Amino acid sequence: MRLSRYFLPVLKETPSEAQIVSHRLMLRAGLIRQEAAGIYAWLPLGFRVLQKIEQIVREEMNRAGAIEILMPTLQPSDLWKETGRYDAYGPEMLRIKDRHDRELLYGPTNEDMVTEIFRAYVKSYKQLPLNLYHTQWKFRDEVRPRFGVMRGREFLMKDAYSFDLDKEGARRSYNKMYVAYLRAFTRMGIKTIPMRAETGPIGGDLSHEFIVLADTGESEVFCHKDLLDMPVPGEDVDFDADLEPIVRQRTELYAATSDVHEAARFEREVPPDKRVNARGIEVGQIFYFGTKYSVPMKATVTGPDGKDVPIEGGSYGIGVSRLVGAIIEASHDDAGIVWPEPVAPFDVAVLNLKAGDTATDKACEEIYAKLTAAGRDVLYDDTSDRPGAKFATMDLIGIPHQIVVGPRGLEKGTVEIKVRKSGAKEELSLAETINRFAK
């Protein structure tokens, strides 16, 4: 992408309405634009990051055996009346009437609807286990939308729903999602800790929240320090195998959010030098809720003994749009965002320090063409802005690698490459540069 033809509306001033660093940086780097309280338009750079996160989540859901669908944002109220949640959900639910006076709502979550889909088609235990997921916009009319996309009213969520014949099956499905979550967050370059949690309006009796540690987080967390350093299962993890040992290894160590925290247990189970009491951001939550929806909605299957039983369910959410902010909270410095490579909007930036100079233009064009042909996402700053402004913008938007090309270096046959994260600089020839980034 040539910057001269791109749409990258960076701001010089720090927006005064933003209270936390990720919100400030998202506005300054031109990632989002607020259209109403808690409702944002995604600008090109932000949208690229959002899509990268969505894709990582999709790959890990698929790897764990979940199947992608897409349910609508608008739902009929009838489904929610069947489960009793229409009245229970309260003012957080955005209720709408169509021209025929039929009640609709903008979905805050999809347990009711997915259970309706399930019961329409699945009749036998032989079709189980089943896990259906989608990534779709949700609306929750939060009392206090704040911190930008971290607590929006409209936000993008991946939500998966598992259906099993019995409790043991449901537990296996829960464990698959637990492991898939560990993998997905690690691939995004962030460290998350699964914490025992309250089940809230989703209901049920087993739940974990996945928390990224950050001082600006809204949750208070208590956990065992060793949880921070546990290795995450690799790509070769077998989702058909028993995953209980991987889960147990973690759940045996104390980790709880403040709403279920037990101070006495924390002190008994965790030695003083291993006690972590910190703040964190919830980026995902998984629930086992059993028959909470299948009983009222009559979502039953015929078991091996010929009897109809309500299925055992779970639901599994990831805050895809919240993650954009959470990753920035975990990865930035004074100059701006430091994207982890797997979610960066571009892999490499090329900075032309003297646009219009024949030799400099030629070298930049060659790098840009060859790296693009090799499949890298390259942002080429071909504008005639001052070098100082170019450096500042590239640092602000956080592209992991910068290739700086100017006439002085080219006289010696070199360009400068800079790693955004460490600031480390190196001088390489044109050929070496292309070689390094073209793989």
What residues make contact with ligand ATP under the rule CB under 6 A? 109, 140, 142, 151-152, 155, 157, 200, 282-285, 317, 319, 321-322
Residues in the chain: 439
* Cα gap 180→133, rounded to integer Å: 13
**Nearer CB in complex with ligand ATP: 64/283:** 283
Strands 348-352 and 378-381: parallel
Among 186, 285, 331, 360, binds Mg ion (CB under 5 A): 285
Max CA pair span of the chain = 82
The least CB distance from residue 21 to ligand ATP, in Å, is: 17
* Residue 152 binding partner per list ligand ATP, Mg ion, none, with a CB distance cut-off of 5 to 8 Å that depends on partner kind: ligand ATP
The least CB distance from residue 185 to ligand ATP, in Å, is: 11
**Nearer CB in complex with ligand ATP: 213/364:** 213
The least CB distance from residue 331 to ligand ATP, in Å, is: 17
The least CB distance from residue 344 to ligand ATP, in Å, is: 21
**Nearer CB in complex with ligand ATP: 20/396:** 20
**Nearer CB in complex with ligand ATP: 111/416:** 111
Q: What are the angstrom distances between the C-alpha of 315 and each of 123, 246, 408?
A: 20, 20, 58
**Nearer CB in complex with Mg ion: 173/285:** 285
* Cα gap 251→186, rounded to integer Å: 18
**Nearer CB in complex with ligand ATP: 105/350:** 105
How buried is residue 136: exposed, middle or buried, by Cβ count under 10 Å (0-12/13-18/19+)? middle
* Residue 290 binding partner per list Mg ion, ligand ATP, none, with a CB distance cut-off of 5 to 8 Å that depends on partner kind: none
Q: Is the dihedral of CA 246, 247, 251, 256 positive or negative?
A: positive
The HSE-up count of residue 433 (CA atoms within 13 Å, CB side) is 30
* Residue 52 binding partner per list Mg ion, ligand ATP, none, with a CB distance cut-off of 5 to 8 Å that depends on partner kind: none
* Residue 319 binding partner per list ligand ATP, Mg ion, none, with a CB distance cut-off of 5 to 8 Å that depends on partner kind: ligand ATP
Query: What are the beta bridge partners of residue 213?
Result: 280
The site that binds Mg ion (CB under 5 A) totals a number of residues, namely 1
The least CB distance from residue 140 to ligand ATP, in Å, is: 5
**Nearer CB in complex with ligand ATP: 142/361:** 142
Which string of b and e fits 204-232 if b means at least 16 CB within 10 Å? Answer: bebbbbbbbbbebbebebbbbeebeeeeb
Residue nearest to Mg ion as judged by C-beta position: 285
Residue nearest to ligand ATP as judged by C-beta position: 319
How buried is residue 14: exposed, middle or buried, by Cβ count under 10 Å (0-12/13-18/19+)? exposed
Whether 281 and 185 have beta carbons less than 8 Å apart is answered as no
Which residue spans within 190-264 are E strands per DSSP? 192-196, 206-213, 219-224, 255-257
The least CB distance from residue 53 to ligand ATP, in Å, is: 11
What residues line the site for Mg ion (CB under 5 A)?
285
